[in-house]
Amino acid sequence: MTTKPILWPEPIDEQRLPGGQAAWINSVITQYTALVDELSADERRLYAYIWESMTRFIAPVSIRQYSGIKQPQIVIQQMVASLNTRKLLWYDDDLRAILQCPPYSVLHTSHQVKAFGWGRAFASSFVDAPSALLVYGPNVWVDMQGTCPRSGEELTLRVKMREDFKLEFDVPSGGEGWCVWLPSYPEETPERTYQEFNILRSKINVFHSLQDLQTHQQYQDDEGVGVIYTLEQALYASQFLLYAYSRVLNPSDWQTAQA
């Protein structure tokens, strides 16, 4: 396997995003990679294991099943607690299991991916969905699906990751009219950009058209605060999220994921 994680393979082109969003995306991924860079080698292996387990089994992840490192259960539990504190995953104390570890989720969301030979997996948000390819590996086409909250229509496209982590998309006819709503706080806190993005992930949705988005907000009495992305702009943003998530992996992790 020759694929290796890379970071900043190209500068963010602000012309390919809504106004002001290049700086916002840069802030999100810079803060995320800073969190990942604080992780120990064992924490990284645990993190990658959680990703793979969520994608393979689509069930809450219990660390009791984890044998990737030779450490007592109490130490592994402390690592999970550390990842939870950093908001890199969501650990449910009642279930004693991990329910979400962006970009993956075992909670049923409207954002799904499906690779041949694998079960349907859930993503934390529409823009996170292409990052499922970090588990499936390069040169694998997957179906990526979202559901328009207004029309209920399932919106499906295909995505593949090359060995250089570059994403390729196969968008169906009419898909260029889809749009994606990225909510934000009325007053954003620059030093908490990633944390705020993480909190609002569940409200990121893809719509069949701009009219569907506007009608949905009207009937929900929620004009909301946020940014409207075209599908092309949203997929471009997904590319940089994938680059950031790739920081977690190393070549040995790829071998594990492909086993």
Task: Look at residue 3 and tell me whether its pLDDT is greater than 50.
Answer: no
Rounded mean pLDDT of the chain? 85
Residues facing 97 on adjacent strands: 92
Task: Look at residue 27 and tell me whether its pLDDT is greater than 50.
Answer: yes
- Which of 139-148, 175-184, 246-255 comes out lowest in average pLDDT? 246-255
pTM score: 0.87
pLDDT tens for each residue of 76-119: 888 888 888 888 888 888 888 898 888 888 888 889 999 988 88
**How far is Cα 87 from Cα 31, in angstroms, rounded to an integer?**
12
Class of domain 20-254: alpha beta
Cis before 18 (ω within 30): no
Q: How long a stretch of residues is the chain?
A: 259
Model pLDDT, residue 4: 42
**How far is Cα 234 from Cα 164, in angstroms, rounded to an integer?**
20
Dihedral Cα 122, 126, 130, 134, nearest 10 deg: -50
Model pLDDT, residue 149: 93
Model pLDDT, residue 211: 95
Instruction: For residue 185, give every residue at least 6 positions away whose Cβ sits within 8 Å of its Cβ, in sequence order, or none.
Output: 196, 200, 225
Model pLDDT, residue 8: 53
**How far is Cα 60 from Cα 54, in angstroms, rounded to an integer?**
7
| Orientation angle between helical segments 73-85 and 41-57, nearest 10 degrees | 80
pLDDT tens for each residue of 190-220: 888 999 998 898 889 999 999 999 999 888 7
